[in-house]
């Protein structure tokens, strides 16, 4: 049996589940997951919560309330700074009855098994029907025009912790979309929009847009059902593209995924997706430096 510790926000949970379950299935072993203590949730769905086993019905049976006694080994993902890729071949050869720890944010773990991953993360029927109805209404409103799901991750956490992309990424991506299709409408999903100014409002002023932001589960489902997507540096965003089963899909992704003072490895994205020039927001990087410095000062004061 292989067991994985699920932690943090929804996208990270989905990556860990999909990656380790795929490894277990390829080895012909049972699979289960346990939930780590978590204080890194920044969004939740009023109806479905923020856990994969409360959102996706097909995952419930594998949720373990405690670690099985049969688990006698532990494998832990190397720190980001110590690895050249997120995909770790050693994860495929762990002993039986191993607890797997990490986020496993690499599409390489499960890309050949993606059709199964999409089934594992089938949405609740009521959500699926609501999203299909909403998309049909938009297509009626904008007949013949491509609908482009566009995801912004620009909230305070990203800005303060050095994760935020510079604003020009979304404009570069939108301009690339305009080269590839006629008269698109950009469907906007975001974690934050300023009352005045800011990247989301500036984007809306330049392009034809519809704000489609809803709940956590609604946004994931609706983004994944669009033929065209602009995703960002977010495991949630990436997973929406993984769940996109449209045969004629076009996915645009940023060329970099800043993570504080480091960068996520490139294999977090699928190879077939279109890379758009992107850079870390300089102010966000400075904020990260400041947060680290404050932490060091507080540690000195306490000691």
Write the pLDDT tens digit of every residue in 211-254. 999 999 999 999 999 999 999 999 999 999 999 999 999 999 99
Locate 268 and state its tokens: 């977090």
The better pLDDT of the pair 42, 108 is held by 108
Nearest CA to 234 out of 17, 8, 3, 4 is that of 8
Name residues whose C-beta falls within 8 Å of residue 206's C-beta, 6 or more positions apart in sequence: 171, 174
Lowest mean pLDDT among 102-106, 109-113, 192-196, 296-300: 296-300
HEC sequence for 116-129: HHHHHCCCCHHHHH
Cα–Cα distance measured from residue 252 to residue 174, given in angstroms and rounded to the nearest whole number: 9
Predicted local distance difference test score (pLDDT) of residue 15: 98
Mean pLDDT of 175-182: 97
Predicted local distance difference test score (pLDDT) of residue 40: 60
Helix ranges (H only) for the chain are 10-27, 52-55, 114-120, 125-141, 156-161, 168-180, 198-206, 216-224, 235-242, 282-302
Mean pLDDT of 89-118: 97
pLDDT tops 90 at residue 108: yes
Predicted local distance difference test score (pLDDT) of residue 42: 64
Mean pLDDT of 146-165: 96
Predicted local distance difference test score (pLDDT) of residue 41: 62
Confidence of residue 38 (pLDDT cuts 50, 70, 90): low
pLDDT tops 70 at residue 79: yes
Write the pLDDT tens digit of every residue in 187-206. 999 999 999 999 999 999 99
């Amino acid at each position: 049996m292989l067991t994985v510790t699920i932690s943090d926000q929804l996208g990270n949970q989905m990556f860990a589940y999909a990656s380790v379950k795929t490894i277990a299935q390829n080895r012909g072993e049972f699979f289960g997951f346990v939930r780590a203590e978590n204080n890194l949730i920044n969004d939740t769905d009023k109806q479905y919560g923020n856990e994969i086993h409360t959102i996706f019905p097909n995952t419930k049976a594998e949720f373990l309330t405690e670690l099985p006694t049969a688990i006698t080994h532990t494998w832990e993902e190397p720190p980001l700074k110590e690895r050249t890729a997120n995909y770790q071949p050693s994860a495929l050869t762990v002993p039986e009855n191993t607890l797997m720890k990490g986020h496993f944010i690499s599409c390489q773990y499960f890309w050949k098994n993606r059709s199964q991953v999409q089934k594992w993360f089938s949405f609740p029927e009521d959500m699926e029907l609501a999203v299909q109805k909403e998309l049909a209404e938009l297509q009626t409103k904008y007949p013949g025009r491509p609908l482009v799901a566009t995801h912004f991750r620009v909230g305070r956490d990203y800005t303060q912790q050095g994760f935020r992309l510079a604003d020009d990424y979304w404009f570069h991506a939108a301009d690339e979309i305009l080269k590839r299709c006629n008269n698109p409408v950009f469907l906007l999903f975001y974690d934050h929009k300023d009352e005045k100014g800011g990247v989301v409002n500036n984007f809306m002023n330049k392009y034809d847009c519809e704000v489609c932001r809803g709940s956590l589960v609604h946004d994931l489902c609706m983004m994944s059902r669009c033929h065209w997507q602009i995703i960002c540096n977010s495991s949630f965003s990436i997973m929406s593209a993984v769940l996109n089963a449209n045969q004629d899909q076009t996915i645009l992704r940023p060329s970099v995924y800043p993570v504080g003072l480091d960068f996520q490895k490139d294999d977090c994205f699928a190879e077939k997706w279109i890379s758009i020039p992107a850079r870390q927001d300089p102010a966000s990087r400075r904020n990260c430096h400041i947060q680290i410095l404050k932490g060091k000062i507080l540690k000195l004061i306490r000691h």
